[in-house]
Structure 1
């Protein structure tokens, strides 16, 4: 079947004439087209189409090799008008007439239905095909995901594309951006039906969520195959978890990487670096990492040091580490064309640089001048690149920052489309490899840093990415601007990245371009306190004012210190949330719709977000604000600083002068807390504080994960996993403690338990059967606190 458009003929599949099954694979044949439907789990189906009857080689950079295939039920039936594949959770109907797909849950409720379904047209200008798929939009449907898009959280009515682009000073609604995450989620039927679509195609991909046709959601690619995964929830949080598991979760980061980082373009020479780090310690502002931008190199040559600025880098890095600062250095993909430069010599000799279609080397201007660029899609090149990090790691560097890897090239923007790539033995043009170039650079960097960092954990950050990059690297949102609008954008971007599989994300605090005032910088610090990656970064060469926590005067410095201290106190809570992300793909940041999707009010909210299991955060995103409305999802919530209680399912007005930010804790939660510190590992933790929030007549479970924080022993079971259950009644509160794993020997020997919101006057407490009287010293500001051995099993406060 075909239809004529202004530009080309669109083709549609015809009638199914035969069907076959091979285990969990089902094949549906029309005259020209084949649909391959593979069942991955009871809730994940993969749809792959061969328009001309021939499949391309099945290969993916995104899907984890550890993604398992498992299902409890699999069936196949033929009906009068359709075939049906069903699992324990899904019914997939394939219409005989035209291969259109309808997806139902086990109750026969509609989840997703093809509009035109799969169709295609020949790409006459470039070659290959443009492959389309269109779905019906339900009346109340909302859409989420797609990585770093700087637009409203709900994508309904948006037209967006993925083609990694160096977008310096990107505006709100700017598109495309740095990252290429072709994964979105839909929610409809009053929040009852949530699902995801992962379109695993690395060509330029486009998504239309009802902008062209208000009743149709479409996605297409200018090359490659129509190859997508359908992921069923129905809970959005479950969809996000399944997607992250499919594309892979990271290893645990070093604990210090979750601390505060300081960066600018650029800190040099050594005396300037030491001046900055000494100010942190003198002013008692916690910080764990100091960054060196491109000026640390010799003429911007990667893997070299500028001996004028840093005459003895190994000594300097060691001294910084002695004061608690881990050094992170930038590495770009452009290798300077210089016959006396050893990295370029090796790349030329081994034929590791990208070439144009006629066989000449790809040349482009970036910071060093004329450069060649490694083909990171070649496994041999990745192995070579990994080996180049030996010198930096032996110098004592603890992390590597990959930039300019969209790839960015001055004047022309990026590589021309005729550049050739190996693509792991599947030779192709840059049209196919562009969106994965940065991810494969991060992959090679990760393996090199990990190899030479042993026994410590690697830390990588990248600007460009494709689905699955979370296995190798953290990310930041790119070259933002010091404006209130960009503070709003940072809040939305990090939530969106988190539910798109990339939780380890943050923005340049204060804005990279331009100059924030003290109020904007302070509010940005408050937001970023609750972003997994927490770094101030600025283009210092372009601004008059330095952008360190003390740059805006004592008033702002005091507040910034308060929130960075809060970040360090909440590190065990964040580290636990990170373990849950690693273990089961649970996003660390959760938009309101992911906390209560059955409440329609949450579907459009963007400011508030969940932070781990039990904390809700609402940043202040406008100047001059001293109070704001916060929407609380279902449940009972404690104001973190004020201690008062509010019921969810409503908007509440919260006082938030500059030194405060709306933060709420879910009733029943147990929130672990560290004592104050200047950096991770400054001294042994002598006591862990547990903040217990009273909830009546409901059992609430909380988790605390802990390990060494900077080695790989946790992979062999060397970690602790605490489970706390709270249950409050009118006259008592019970806290039970169960160790699901107890193989790591922590420094502290006792917990300090601080009880919030206890509605009765407590007289005593019982620890594992032993009764203790509460003394006056156990009460302060309407709080009750006690101490217990870290192995306690049951505490009753009454």
Structure 2
């Protein structure tokens, strides 16, 4: 973006975005830019001018365009509950698809509001009073509380309105529909802009039913051990709401991660459909090569690519058959009272169970098996051990540089040689990992056709 303006390109930093996008694709890398909900208020900026001219922005109580503030400073918010506004905003994605962009993520679309001008003015006036003399502890806490209270203040969502079939509706009454309809705006437009292919699309804010339009990530998490578990517990809930393409920010978005936290997080998130490392500005730079144990981190990524045939196959099965990709143990063993108490293990598809480490300094963890399973202990895609464990409770040691997962009784999964990208995954290298006499039904498609059934292939391994 140029100064955080949607559907613009900073020509100083990216003088030829189209050529850059093509060069990256040749290396197996696809660019995925952010689109924010707030439209910068700036004269001669086409998105702003068109929105004002056509009444496409949310209104304040007096009928004027509501003003909030986000990354660009002062912004208007498109009224995505208006069909015409949705169609207008969605068509703007063509500005970037024409430059070779074929993936997007919608952000800040609750919508986030850093402050409103009236609340900022009132806060500054109160702060001026507080700082006019010697601030004591009470005044100091009042000062910090006022500043913190500017961002996402719930009262600000009562200050603007949507046009819903000619009726002005307060935003706070339809808040959860906003992000969903921004995603819908993009999805419907992209079906017209590039009808011959799928476009990778996910959003920060959404609502039940929006799985028809795109995936989501689980929001701005923290580099906290507890957030591995919280992310894991969200997976089946999101699946039940229809969202299959989801995941979290590996290593955490806010705060500073650590090497051991990153490695343990990788050992969880490499199983999720959305697998990415994403951190906030001002936090520790957390690319994997910045840590000491680069080898272990690299092996986890390779294992991810070895598992892609299984993960994608199970994703397709869940999508095409209206099933869940991730399930609590109790869903498959409803009569097992002990399985009903397990909240830190999940079935992944019909063959795997994952039980990640999510506690600092843990050298292993307790696992409950509702049936006999095969334990797989893996340091790399070609360096692993297996062991059959009976039904029941087990303590499983897990070193910091190894991945542990379980294959269900009499099941097996396809496992490939790792590749640099999904496009380079060689299915001819597939081998079955698991019980000796088990087979596996593999789902594949071309990954491009808008409807996966157009190119679906089912084979038995």
TM-score norm. by structure 2 comes to 0.86
Secondary structure at 2:423 match in 1: coil
Question: Which one of 273, 282, 286 corresponds to residue 542 of structure 1?
Answer: 282
- Contact kept, 8 Å, 2:247 with 2:274, in 1: the verdict is yes
Deviations 1:700-748 (A, max 9, x none): 77421011122236333x3212246xxxxxxxxxxxxxxxxxxxxxxxx
How many residues in Structure 1 have an aligned counterpart in Structure 2? 418
| Residue 677 to residue 712, structure 1, CA distance change in 2 (3 Å) | same
**1:659 deviation in Å?**
1.3
Unaligned runs of 5+ in 1: 1-296, 725-798
Matched, 1:357 2:61: yes
1:406 and 2:110 are equivalent in the alignment:
yes
Residue deviations 1:317-362, cap 9 Å, x none?
1111111101000001100111210111111111111112321111
Q: Choose between structure 1 and 2: higher helix proportion.
A: 2
Q: Does 1:627 align with 2:331?
A: no
Q: Does the C-alpha gap of structure 1 residues 687 and 661 become closer, same or farther in structure 2, counting only changes over 3 Å? A: closer
Q: What is the aligned partner in structure 1 of residue 132 from structure 2?
A: none
Q: 2:79 aligns with which of 370, 375, 394?
A: 375
Tell me, in whole angstroms, the C-alpha distance in 2 between the residues paired with 1:505 and 1:713. 19
Q: Which residue in the other structure is 2:157 paired with?
A: 416
Match in the other structure for 2:223 = 482
TM-superposed CA distance for 1:589, in Å, is: 1.3
Counterpart contact for 1:499–1:590, Cα < 8 Å: no
Could you list the per-position Cα deviations for residues 371-405 of structure 1 after superposition, in whole angstroms to 9, with x for gaps in the alignment?
11111111111111111011100111121111111
Task: Tell me which of 409, 423, 434 is aligned to 1:667.
Answer: 409
SS of alignment partner, residue 433 of structure 2: strand
Change (3 A) 1:705 1:683: closer
The answer to whether structure 1 residue 493 and structure 2 residue 197 are counterparts is no
Match of 2:349 among 612, 619, 626: 612
Q: Please name the residue that 2:194 is paired with.
A: 453
- Once the two structures are superposed, residues 154-194 of structure 1 have per-residue CA deviations (whole angstroms, 9 ceiling, x without a partner) of xxxxxxxxxxxxxxxxxxxxxxxxxxxxxxxxxxxxxxxxx
Q: Which residue of structure 1 lines up, in the alignment, with residue 321 of structure 2?
A: 584
- Alignment gaps of 5+ in structure 2: 116-149, 378-383
Q: Which has the higher strand share?
A: 1
Corresponding residue to 1:552 among 291, 300, 308? 291
What is the aligned counterpart of 2:185 among 444, 453, 466? 444
The answer to whether the Cα contact below 8 Å between 2:325 and 2:349 also exists between their aligned partners in 1 is yes
CA deviations over 1:293-339 (Å, ceiling 9, x no partner)? xxxx1110000011221111111111111111010000011001112
Does structure 2 conserve the Cα–Cα contact (< 8 Å) formed by 1:596 and 1:634?
A: no
Does the 8 Å contact 1:398/1:453 carry over to 2? no
For the residue of structure 2 that corresponds to 1:460, the secondary structure is strand
Structure 2 counterpart SS, 1:568: helix
Q: Contact 1:457/1:711 (CA < 8 Å) preserved in 2?
A: yes
For 1:360 and 1:426, the matched residues in 2 are separated by 15
2:386 corresponds to 1:643: yes
Q: Name the residue aligned to 1:704.
A: 442
**CA–CA distance in 2 between the matches of 1:612 and 1:423?**
41
Cα displacement (A) at 1:687: 3.5
Question: CA–CA distance in 1 between the matches of 2:373 and 2:223?
Answer: 36
Tell me the distance in 2 between the aligned counterparts of 1:576 and 1:388: 33
Q: What are the superposed Cα offsets for residues 586-626 of structure 1, whole Å, 9 maximum, x if unpaired?
A: 11111222231211112221211111111011111112222
Q: Deviations over 1:661-711 (max 9, x none)?
A: 33010132231223220012137544332335136xxxx774210111222
CA distance in structure 1 between the partners assigned to 2:346 and 2:428 by the alignment = 32
Partner of 1:335 in structure 2? Answer: 39
Distance 1:642 1:688, change over 3 A: closer
For residues 419-470 of structure 1, give each alpha carbon's deviation from its aligned partner in whole angstroms, at most 9, with x where no partner exists: 3223466653223321100000011122233433342211111111111121
1:176-215 paired onto structure 2 within 5 Å: none
Equivalent position SS for 1:637: strand
1:185-211 CA distances to partner (integer Å, 9 max, x unpaired)? Answer: xxxxxxxxxxxxxxxxxxxxxxxxxxx
Q: Report if the CA contact (8 A) 1:620-1:661 is conserved.
A: no
Superimposed CA distance per residue, residues 228-248 of structure 1 (whole angstroms, 9 cap, x where no aligned partner)? xxxxxxxxxxxxxxxxxxxxx
Shift in alpha-carbon separation, 1:355–1:453, aligned structure 2, 3 A: same
2:301 to 564, 573, 576: 564
Q: Is the 8 A contact 1:386 1:447 kept in 2?
A: yes
Q: Which structure has the larger Rg?
A: 1
RMSD between aligned residues:
2.0
Residue 22 of structure 1 corresponds to which residue in structure 2?
Answer: none
Rounded to whole Å, the distance in 2 between the matches of 1:426 and 1:510 is 45
Question: Is the Cα–Cα contact under 8 Å of residues 405 and 463 in structure 1 kept in the other structure?
Answer: yes
